């Protein structure tokens, strides 16, 4: 096979404790999935789930034992964090019943839905797509994938983001408005879910802007810490 332009390497995430890799296919993101964040973004907390996407190569793999350097992106003056539980899909499916949904989950990770909030806000007000605000390069820093067989149920694990040592987001993942099973049910009605798909499940309240030099430390109980410095 000959390609007429260079073929880019696939987007991958490491699997914790192994040399194996998880190949990233699509990144589905869920909007406003914690009541308090929905309210801080101007909603009521009772809307049905909605989705947007990031491209696979927005993934920015972050090892646990490092402080990764994340460049402040271009074309924004309001660069914001959203700490999220990430669900990694291992098995294809469409019209998946909630009762069968967990059979499609391969693993979990901790991730950040990085957002150029000023561009997203402009897109919202003009009724335009969110891509420039959400789907840019390095907009999805994610830690290693933990196999679901190691994690068991996600339950009510704590989720917390600190910036420069100060707690900015703090909740538990059982406060998701739409559960993992329900998100898989809804998404698989609209799209054919594929192995390699990631679902970023939404962020708790407390989103705010970052500056160069800020140190972010995200943590989900049992899924490790994600540490990044904005440069
Ligand atoms: Mn988000």
Q: What is the number of domains present in the chain?
A: 1
Instruction: State mean pLDDT over 182-189.
Output: 96
Ion ligand 1: residues, CB within 5 A, are: 82, 113, 203
Q: Residue 52's pLDDT is what?
A: 97
Pairing, β 198-200 against β 27-30:
parallel
The token pair that represents 129 in the structure block: 């797509």
> By residue range, what is the domain housing residue 45?
12-61+78-155+171-210
Residue 228, pLDDT above cutoff 90? yes
Residue 46, pLDDT above cutoff 80? no
Task: Assess if residue 226 is contained within a domain.
Answer: no
2 C-alpha to ligand 1 centroid (Å): 39
Task: Assess if residue 6 is contained within a domain.
Answer: no
Residue 45, pLDDT above cutoff 80? no
Compute the C-alpha angle 138/144/68, nearest 5°: 45
Task: Assess if residue 52 is contained within a domain.
Answer: yes
Give me the CATH number covering residue 114. 3.90.850.10
Task: Assess if residue 177 is contained within a domain.
Answer: yes
5 C-alpha to ligand 1 centroid (Å): 33
Instruction: State mean pLDDT over 86-99.
Output: 98
Task: Assess if residue 150 is contained within a domain.
Answer: yes
Instruction: State mean pLDDT over 110-121.
Output: 98
Task: Assess if residue 164 is contained within a domain.
Answer: no
Query: pLDDT, tens digit, for every residue of 138-184?
Result: 999 999 999 999 999 999 999 999 999 999 999 999 999 999 999 99
51 C-alpha to ligand 1 centroid (Å): 10
28 C-alpha to ligand 1 centroid (Å): 10
- Among the listed residues 231, 198, 228, the one whose alpha carbon sits nearest the alpha carbon of residue 66: 228
Task: Assess if residue 195 is contained within a domain.
Answer: yes
Q: What is the value of pTM for the model shown?
A: 0.96
Report the 10 Å Cβ neighbour count for 97: 11
Task: Assess if residue 135 is contained within a domain.
Answer: yes
């Amino acid at each position: 096979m000959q390609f007429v332009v260079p073929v880019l390497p696939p987007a991958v995430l490491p699997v914790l404790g192994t040399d194996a890799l998880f190949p990233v296919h699509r990144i589905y993101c869920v909007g406003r999935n914690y009541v308090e964040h929905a309210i801080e973004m101007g909603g009521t907390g009772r809307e049905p789930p909605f989705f947007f996407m990031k491209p696979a190569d927005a993934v920015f793999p972050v090892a646990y034992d490092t402080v990764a350097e994340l460049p402040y992106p271009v074309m924004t003056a309001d660069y914001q964090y959203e700490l999220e539980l990430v669900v990694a899909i291992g098995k294809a499916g469409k019209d998946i019943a909630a009762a069968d949904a967990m059979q499609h989950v391969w693993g979990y990770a901790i991730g950040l839905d990085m957002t150029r909030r000023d561009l997203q806000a402009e897109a919202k007000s003009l009724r335009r797509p969110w891509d420039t605000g959400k789907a840019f390069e390095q907009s999805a820093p994610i830690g290693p994938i933990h196999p679901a067989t190691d994690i068991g149920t996600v339950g009510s694990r704590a989720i917390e983001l600190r910036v420069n040592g100060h707690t900015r987001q703090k909740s538990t993942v059982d406060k998701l408005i739409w559960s993992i099973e329900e998100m898989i049910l809804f998404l698989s009605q609209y799209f054919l879910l594929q192995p390699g798909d990631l679902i970023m499940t939404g962020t708790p309240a407390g989103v705010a802007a970052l500056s160069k030099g800020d140190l972010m430390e995200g943590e989900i109980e049992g899924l490790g810490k994600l540490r990044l410095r904005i440069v």
